[in-house]
Amino acid sequence: MKIIGPIAGIGSRLRPFTLSKPKAFLTVAGKTVLDHILIKFTNTFDSDTELILIVGYKKRQIMEYIRNHYNEKFKLTFIEQIPRGYKEGIPYYWGLGEAVYLAHSRFKKSEPKNAKEDKREGSLIFLSDMLPLDEYSYLMYKYWESDVDGIITVMKVPKEDASSYGIVIVNENNLITKLVEKPKDYISNLAIAGPYSFSNTATCALFKNLKRYLDQRTDKSKEIYMTQSLQDLVDQGYKIAAVELKQGIMDFGRPAELLMSNKYLLEQNSIRVEDFQEFNITVEKSFIKNPVYIGKNTKIINSVIGPFISLGDDSYIENCILENSVIESRAHLNNIISKNSIIGSNVKVENISKDNLIIGDKSVY
């Protein structure tokens, strides 16, 4: 099985942070979003698994990092997605559909000997800003043990939010009969959650469907989504099952969801006082309310930190009261009272009492 990861996009919903780094490189609970995703893969897939990353925005930064940290954990392949154009120097792309299609050269179209071989030579597609709380072993079990050509993970969403997602309708056997991208009218509360897995035959058919829409592009076309090509798979007779995530999903794609995911991750693994010496963390006249993450070589003076604070490496915090926030590395904060905030790396901020701060990298206030 090959893993396909489209990570070319700029993450416009997370600006200004993504002006200086890829959206998958935001650091939450001590790791980048991409680390959280890939580490979970290593629990299920061995080092012979090919990881195909579709890169674009900040591609060199991504490729260097992945080679340094995951070269021995996967067989790495990088494919570049070429920008559709630029706005104010920032690239924009044809979307998820094109990104997934670009992996087609890594798959051979052949007649499988049997269904197991077909599935074994198939694909798993993940999204760079969403991470299932369920282990991939659970998803793969559903894929291997069901008489289907593929699975799409889904989650239940409130009726009023359904129009913001790709939505599926299923029959009595949980097979998908209809997929609609951001439907105007309510049709179901089952939203596509991210990971997809398909047999080799279904994967190649998906590539063919995507190519048809890509070939029809004009300068005025909108970005190419996957949803219609997946609907074509269903219409072509492929059995695609909806697998509902039992534990849900972490969404890193918007500020509010990023903070919720940060909260969940910290609840699973908070720093201990015993770790302070090992990580060269200095705490003076301060109160730390767990769960929190505090990065290496960080100094906290006369402050109240937590709960639910992710604080990056090499930071300096003085006279602050901080709660439920993500603060990246090398932040210098003085006299800040805030909660529900996201503060980038290499910032220097003083004398602010305000919630819901959004401060990008290298800012000075």
Lowest mean pLDDT among 8-22, 107-121, 277-291, 329-343: 8-22
| Domain-embedded: residue 262 | no
Token reading at 13: 């919903």
Question: Same domain, yes or no, for 79 and 164?
Answer: yes
Residue 346, C-beta contacts closer than 8 angstroms, at least 6 positions apart: 329, 330, 331, 361, 362
Other beta carbons less than 10 A from residue 324's beta carbon: 19
| Residue-averaged pLDDT of the chain | 91
Residue 26, C-beta contacts closer than 8 angstroms, at least 6 positions apart: 14, 17, 18, 32, 33, 252, 258, 326, 328
Q: What is the CATH number of the domain that holds 69?
A: 3.90.550.10
**pLDDT at position 239, please?**
96
The predicted-structure confidence for 173-188, as pLDDT tens digits, reads as follows: 999 999 998 899 999 9
Question: Measuring CA to CA, which residue among 93, 99, 96, 94 is closest to residue 79?
Answer: 99
Question: Same domain, yes or no, for 197 and 138?
Answer: yes
| Domain-embedded: residue 365 | no
Question: Same domain, yes or no, for 198 and 277?
Answer: no
Mean pLDDT, range 177-206, rounded to an integer: 93
250 confidence band (pLDDT: 50, 70, 90)? confident
Q: What percent of the chain has pLDDT over 70?
A: 98
Q: Could you give phi then psi for residue 70, rounded to 5 degrees?
A: -130, 10
Other beta carbons less than 10 A from residue 301's beta carbon: 15
User: In terms of residue numbers, what domain contains 203?
Assistant: 2-255
13 confidence band (pLDDT: 50, 70, 90)? low
Instruction: Tell whether the model's pLDDT for residue 68 goes beyond 80.
Output: yes
Question: Same domain, yes or no, for 182 and 218?
Answer: yes
| Domain-embedded: residue 135 | yes
Question: Same domain, yes or no, for 31 and 150?
Answer: yes
Mean pLDDT, range 124-136, rounded to an integer: 86
Question: Same domain, yes or no, for 211 and 290?
Answer: no
| Domain-embedded: residue 223 | yes
Question: Same domain, yes or no, for 178 and 309?
Answer: no
Mean pLDDT, range 267-280, rounded to an integer: 90
Number of domains in the chain: 2
Mean pLDDT, range 102-116, rounded to an integer: 88
Alpha-helix runs per DSSP H in the chain: 33-42, 59-70, 96-101, 115-120, 136-145, 200-215, 227-235, 255-268, 275-278
Mean pLDDT, range 39-50, rounded to an integer: 90
State how far the alpha carbon of 359 is from the alpha carbons of 80, 220, 265, 304, 346, in Å. Answer: 30, 34, 22, 20, 11
Q: What is the CATH number of the domain that holds 281?
A: 2.160.10.10
Question: Same domain, yes or no, for 238 and 284?
Answer: no
Residue 338, C-beta contacts closer than 8 angstroms, at least 6 positions apart: 320, 321, 322, 323, 325, 352, 353, 354, 355, 357
- Mode of pairing for the β-strands spanning 166-170 and 176-181: antiparallel
**pLDDT at position 181, please?**
87
| Domain-embedded: residue 158 | yes
**CB 309, CB 323: distance < 8 Å:** yes
Residue 262, C-beta contacts closer than 8 angstroms, at least 6 positions apart: 28, 29, 308, 310, 324, 326
Question: Same domain, yes or no, for 181 and 33?
Answer: yes
Domain finish residue from 187, 222, 255: 255
Higher confidence at residue 253 or residue 215? 215
Domain finish residue from 255, 279, 303: 255
**pLDDT at position 321, please?**
97
| Domain-embedded: residue 265 | no
